[in-house]
Amino acid sequence: MRNNRGFGNALTPGYWNLFTRFLGFRHHTHTHIMHIAIIGAGLAGVSAAWYLSQTGHRVTVIERDAAPALETSYANGGQISISHPEPWANPGAPMQVLRWLGKKDAPLLFRWPAEAARIRWGLEFLRECLPGRTRQNTLAIAHLAAFSGQRLKALREETGIEYNQLSRGVLHMYFSPENLHHGEQQHKILQELGIGSRMLDRDACLELEPALAHLAPHLVGAMLGSDDESGDAQRFATELARCCREAGVEFVFDTSVASIEADGQRVSGLSLRSGNGEARLLQADAYVLAAGSYSPQLMRPHGERLAIYPVKGYSTTMELAQPDKAPTVSLTDESRRIVCSRFGNRLRIAGTAELNGYNLDLDLDRCSALLRWAEDMFPGACNTAEPNYWTGLRPTTPSNLPIIGRSRLANLFYNTGHGTLGWTLACGSAQALADIMNGQQPAVDYPFWKSR
Ligand SMILES: Cc1cc2nc3c(=O)[nH]c(=O)nc-3n(C[C@H](O)[C@H](O)[C@H](O)COP(=O)(O)OP(=O)(O)OC[C@H]3O[C@@H](n4cnc5c(N)ncnc54)[C@H](O)[C@@H]3O)c2cc1C
């Protein structure tokens, strides 16, 4: 699947690129300028718009909502989680899923009856649980995540954007010896990969995060992902969209892409429908599909199946009643698969996975599981009388590897399927996509998508 056919090779002589890279020139001075239309203004679409516009392209982003990041990128867990490359599909997953069966507030719920797409996705997920596949997938995600972390830091320096970011790491908390053992194994893998991580005993945890004092009797240890960060992803996307606009990117909101028009070889345009019912065709030189969980539908008529399933997750965001009782280090509770991030005077608690199609109803059992977690962990810290519940659909592939690269249509590219790690991987994915579209080899070892 490795990309080796640069679309841009027809446009940009590869040797010239290598030569100019060697001399340290900015690439956009030599990139053939294209008009690029991006479908979707979530984290994936906005980041792609940024990196593509930075190499000189004219970019138009089409978004059906009224602003960026109002769907899955709206209220996620807020973690830049480089220290968690292990995908959901791993050798322990099938047994774990069986243990959770029938529990209403289980971290993972597979609702019945299941439609064909879900069954097929589930079978592919099982295949990805084989040890060899898990190892490969973990490696690929780790490479992309580490690259993405570097790109995010560089982007922040370049643009100066603020989004309640904290660079205090992510603390993976273990409340049982089995979880601690698993954490130690993960720590070894991270060390081999050169990703920052440290095992902490109880005292070291409390020193790092005094708000955990209340939990001390139950905590058996933790791993700190020291390269990790946290922040408000929606704010990030909104701020980055503002920078994009200042750089000349055009955003077309309240407008849906009804279909991708193509002749079997190339896209000839996007059929748009605006909020007031007006229809028109938008034509560009190249196109990027970044429509999250809704990407497969747009490709189905063109004979390419994208194995992306909408895996529903929940979050609650609360104002703080007593800020000193709330953590500032971003946390992961490994036993309950819940994450928690501090955004100024707010605390976000997120988690749970539900396979139930495109349904966006709030299930109260799952909402109250998050609220209970906040009350148990940090009593009195949050204003629990006013929880802001939210649910979003993670665009998840069976391997959790995002689909980045060229589609079967010559001028259409993918930046989609980012699953559980869409923010962690956003900058790296978009930078790699821009490199591919500019006919350059991305500086990251990753199995980029190349249509068969
Ligand atoms: C509960 C939860 C917690 C999470 N926690 C984390 C975390 O801590 N760290 C992390 O890295 N990741 C996390 N994620 C994952 C991350 O949020 C997602 O991977 C990411 O938001 C996906 O971004 P996206 O741009 O691909 O999709 P989206 O944000 O859904 O963007 C797609 C956009 O495309 C638009 N669109 C779709 N179809 C069309 C159309 N036909 N025409 C026009 N526009 C269209 C949509 O309106 C939407 O705005 C979490 C997810 C959930 C649900």
Range with the poorest average pLDDT among 96-100, 127-131, 153-157, 357-361: 96-100
Beta-bridge mates of residue 347: 318, 342
Interatomic CA distance for residues 67 and 40, integer angstroms: 10
* Whole-structure pTM value: 0.93
Distances from the Cα of 348 to the Cα of 48, 76, 245, angstroms: 26, 8, 29
Rounded Cα–Cα distance for residues 196 and 194 (Å): 6
Which of these, 400, 399, 403, 410, lies nearest to 432 by C-alpha position? 403
Q: pLDDT tens, 202-212? A: 999 999 999 99
Residues 6+ apart with CB under 8 A from 423: 43, 73, 76, 78, 79, 80, 233, 236
Q: What is the pLDDT of residues 276-286, one digit of tens each?
A: 899 999 999 99
> Do residues 270 and 281 make contact, with C-beta atoms less than 8 angstroms apart?
yes
What's the CA gap between 429 and 84, in Å, rounded? 17
pLDDT at 270 over 90: yes
**Smallest CA separation from ligand 1 atom 33, residue:** 40
Would the CB of 45 count as within 6 Å of ligand 1? yes
CB of 395 within 6 A of ligand 1: the answer is yes
CB of 83 shorter than 6 A to ligand 1: no
pLDDT value of residue 105? 72
Q: Which two tokens stand for residue 323?
A: 């800020």
- Ligand 1 pocket test, pick from 51, 274, 294 with the greatest ligand atom count within 8 Å of Cβ, gives 294
CA 429 – CA 144 distance, rounded (Å): 7
Is residue 28's pLDDT more than 50?
A: no
Domains of the chain: 6-71+235-304+400-450 (3.50.50.60), 82-230+308-396 (3.30.9.10)
Q: Give, using CA atoms, the residue closest to atom 20 of ligand 1.
A: 422
> Ligand 1 centre and the CA of 290: distance in Å?
9
Q: For ligand 1, what atom is nearest to the CA of residue 293?
A: 30
Residue 100 pLDDT class (50, 70, 90 cuts): confident
Q: Is the peptide bond before 301 cis (omega within 30 degrees of 0)?
A: no
What does 194-205 look like in DSSP terms, one character per residue? T--EEEE-HHHH
| Mean predicted confidence (pLDDT) in 438-451 | 94
Residue 22 has pLDDT above 60, yes or no: no
Per-residue pLDDT band at 18 (split at 50, 70, 90): very low
Instruction: Tally Cβ neighbours within 10 Å of residue 17.
Output: 22
pLDDT digits (tens, 9 = 90+) for 387-434: 999 999 999 999 999 999 999 999 999 999 999 999 999 999 999 999
pLDDT band at 136 (very low <50, low <70, confident <90, very high): very high
The whole-number pLDDT of residue 400 equals 96
With a 6 Å cutoff on the Cβ, whether 256 touches ligand 1 is yes
Q: What is the C-alpha separation between 174 and 177, in angstroms, rounded?
A: 8
Confidence of residue 13 (pLDDT cuts 50, 70, 90): very low
Mean pLDDT of the chain: 91
Judge if the beta carbon of residue 78 lies within 6 A of ligand 1. yes
- Is pLDDT at 11 greater than 50 in this prediction? no
